[in-house]
Amino acid sequence: MCIFCKIIQKEIPSSCIYEDDQVMAFLDLSQVTKGHTLVVPKKHYDNVLDCDPETLAHLIQVTQMLAKRITERCQAKGVNILTNCNEAAGQSVMHLHFHIIPRYDENDAIVIQFNESEKQDLDALKNLLQ
Ligand code: 5GP
Ligand code: ZN
């Protein structure tokens, strides 16, 4: 059983801030910023890519509701909502989770940066992807 399944089963303690029949949300141990929260489905999916659409729809609705609550109550100025899929994308726990990361100012502990990289053939990519 994965570590988040153990948290859901209450075999490992967590600071739970929301729970319903399908979803649980608990504070991330790392607290990248104050209020950093993880929202997880109770059924195990590795990540967004293998999750069934109904569960995902409910998960993102709960995530939105909690992001508003956390931003307001922590008096944050903004919030990042993100999810990593697979190790190459930075996923370290292979149980689907959305991060809610309240933002306080540009100098807080998280940096999300889109760097310039090699030029791409947009027409070829469009043909590949549409
Ligand atoms: P990922 O890197 O997979 O997107 O994020 C995994 C997150 O889970 C990390 O931010 C990490 O701090 C958090 N985490 C890992 N183990 C535990 C745990 O046992 N309890 C809690 N609350 N958070 C955890
Ligand atoms: Zn799991």
Residues with CB under 6 A from ligand 1: 3, 12, 14, 26-30, 38, 84, 90-93
- Mention the CATH class of domain 3-114: alpha beta
**Backbone phi, then psi, for 49, in 5-degree steps?**
-65, -30
Is 58 catalytic? The answer is no
Please give the helix or strand (H or E) that residue 16 lies within, else none.
strand 16-19
> Is pLDDT larger for residue 114 or for residue 22?
22
| CA 82 to centroid of chain Cα atoms | 4
**Ligand 2 centroid to 95 CA: how many Å?**
5
Nearest to 57, CA basis, from 85, 23, 107? 23
Site to substitute for ligand 1 among 93, 100, 101, most atoms within 8 A of C-beta: 93
In this structure, which residue's CA is closest to atom 12 in ligand 1?
Answer: 30
Answer whether residue 62 shows pLDDT above 90.
yes
CA Rg value for the chain: 17
The pLDDT of residue 108 is above 90: no
Q: Where are the domains of the chain?
A: 3-114
Confidence of residue 111 (pLDDT cuts 50, 70, 90): confident
